């Protein structure tokens, strides 16, 4: 057996243990519609008690209140600081999560709110070749 065969076999075996992550890209621009601040999906939070607990450990969660929940029971939050003109009342002091929104790459398919200037698309293998 050659060393190349052993390497090939080794890499083939490793490929069975790779966790497949689907990559989604987010493109576009903010059009100041305010919908993202009124529809914040919180994957994993299921009730008010969990939101309060999260707020205790991660203080920026105190900026949000429960608006509703999605079909999987995850909470949809809304920011307490979004104004009727769709602008943030604490913009210069907003949390880091707001400053970084939206991340340009995510590993869960998310739905951007209706009317949002951003769009989500799945990064296909052929996209990496371009």
Q: What is the DSSP code string of 52-93?
A: HHHHHHSGGGGGEEEEEE-TTS-EEEEETTB-TTS-BTTGGG
5-26: per-residue pLDDT in tens? 566 667 666 666 666 667 778 8
- Backbone dihedral angles phi then psi of residue 27, each to the nearest 5 degrees: -130, 160
Q: Is the pTM of this model over 0.85?
A: no
95 in a domain, yes or no?
yes
Q: What is the pLDDT of residues 42-95, one digit of tens each?
A: 777 788 988 888 888 888 889 999 999 888 888 889 999 999 999 999 999 998
The answer to whether residue 31 is domain-embedded is: yes
| Domain membership flag for residue 70 | yes
Please tell me the total count of domains within the chain: 1
Residue-number span of the structural domain to which 75 is assigned: 22-129
């Amino acid at each position: 057996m050659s060393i190349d065969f052993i390497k090939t076999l080794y890499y083939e075996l490793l490929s069975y243990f790779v966790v497949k992550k689907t990559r989604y890209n987010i493109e576009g621009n903010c059009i100041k519609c305010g919908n993202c601040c009124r529809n914040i999906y919180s994957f994993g939070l299921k009730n008010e008690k969990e939101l309060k607990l999260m707020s205790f450990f991660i203080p920026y969660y105190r900026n949000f209140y429960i608006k509703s929940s999605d079909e999987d029971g995850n909470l949809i939050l809304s920011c307490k600081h979004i104004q009727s003109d769709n602008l943030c009342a604490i913009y210069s002091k907003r949390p880091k999560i707001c400053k970084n929104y939206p991340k340009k790459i995510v590993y869960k398919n998310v739905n951007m709110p209706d009317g949002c200037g951003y769009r989500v698309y799945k990064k296909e293998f052929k996209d990496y070749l371009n």
